């Protein structure tokens, strides 16, 4: 989510509106900037996740955001290793472990299918592995159309490695058809930022993508 201040809450409320209309309250989540997490979580019933959490235990945590801090505000999980906030494997391992210890979801981002091997080597299965080719992020050129092989490849690799993590995808997705194509390729969901934030009508864009995620409507 690339908006700030009260606009974060406005966008989240539109997402919740769509979730209620389509009976998808557990299937649509929002990830506002960390300063807005508590505000958004207080006003919506759909899952709210963080864009980042620090690899830091309890104790001396001035300036850090820990999993337990997020949990205390009813945040359900966090994105980890987004292409705009890359982390070392050791940091990823520590964060996933901390999130799971707090009964929170871990959404670990990778740039290409081959990176899933390294994630598997951590011996800590994230709940979701999000494949996002960085060159497509924010372009409106959907990964599901431009690079379908990275979705199918990620699904195949995750299965072959014996991971129970669900594969989702992002980068360039802007409408329901992009989302539906991703689902048909094996993705269990989509990550969307600018495709929604830059839309003239947030409600219509979110609804279109949400409908696209379900083959019931396509």
Catalytic entry in 14, 16, 82, 115? 82
Residues 6+ away with beta carbon under 8 Å from 86 = none
What's the chain's Rg over C-alpha atoms?
16
* CA–CA dist 192, 211 (Å, integer): 14
Q: How far apart are CA 46 and CA 189, in angstroms?
A: 15
**Non-local CB neighbours of 60 within 8 Å, separated by 6+ positions:** none
Burial class (CB in 10 A: 0-12, 13-18, 19+), 17: middle
Q: With beta carbons less than 8 A apart as the criterion, state whether 212 and 22 touch.
A: no
* Cα→Cα distances 164→130, 158, 178, Å: 13, 8, 25
Judge whether 43 counts as a catalytic residue. no
* Active-site annotation holder among 132, 135, 156, 204: 132
The DSSP output letter for 86 is -
CA distances from 87 to 41, 105, 109 (A): 26, 17, 10
CB count within 10 Å of CB 160 equals 11
In the annotation, is 52 catalytic? no
Task: Tell me the catalytic residues.
Answer: 82, 132
């Amino acid at each position: 989510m690339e908006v700030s201040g009260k606009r974060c809450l406005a966008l989240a409320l539109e997402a919740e509106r769509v979730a209620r209309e389509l009976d998808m309250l557990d299937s649509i989540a929002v990830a506002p900037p960390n300063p807005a997490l508590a505000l958004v979580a207080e006003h919506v019933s759909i899952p709210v996740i963080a864009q980042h959490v620090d690899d830091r235990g309890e104790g001396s945590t001035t300036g850090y955001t820990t999993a337990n801090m997020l949990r205390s505000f009813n945040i359900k999980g966090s994105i980890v290793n987004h292409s705009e906030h890359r982390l070392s494997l050791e940091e990823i391992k520590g964060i996933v472990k901390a999130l799971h210890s707090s009964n929170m979801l871990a959404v670990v981002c990778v740039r290409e299918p081959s990176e899933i091997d390294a994630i598997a080597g951590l011996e800590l299965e994230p709940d979701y592995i999000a494949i996002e080719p960085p060159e497509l992020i924010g372009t409106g050129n959907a990964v599901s159309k431009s690079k379908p092989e990275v979705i199918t490849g990620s699904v195949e690799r995750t299965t072959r490695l014996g991971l129970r993590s669900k594969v989702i995808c992002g980068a360039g997705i802007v409408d329901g058809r992009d989302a539906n194509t991703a689902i048909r390729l094996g993705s269990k969901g989509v990550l969307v930022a600018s495709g929604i934030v830059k839309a003239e009508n947030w409600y219509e864009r979110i609804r279109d993508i949400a409908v696209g995620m379900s083959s019931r409507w396509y």
